[in-house]
Amino acid sequence: MQCNVGTTDKIIRVIIGLAIMAAGYYYQSWWGIIGIIPLMTAAIGWCPLYVPFGISSCKK
């Protein structure tokens, strides 16, 4: 796995992940668990959806 998620992308993913989880908690829905996905991709610095399209927001 090669890094394909840059710093700005990571910050955005953390904010979105936390917002999804907070909304799930607020509405008492299990859909808040989906917020784990952007948090994990930010933590490991790799997004599987970027691979087939050849996208990378990492500095080389």
Give residue-wise pLDDT tens across range 11-52: 999 999 999 999 999 999 999 999 999 999 999 999 999 999
Domain map of the chain by residue range? 1-60
**C-alpha span between 40 and 10 (Å, rounded):** 10
Amino acid 1: pLDDT = 82
Rounded Cα–Cα distance for residues 10 and 34 (Å): 16
pTM: 0.90
Q: For residue 45, how many C-alpha atoms fall within 13 Å in the half-sphere facing its CB?
A: 7
Tell me what pLDDT residue 30 has. Answer: 95
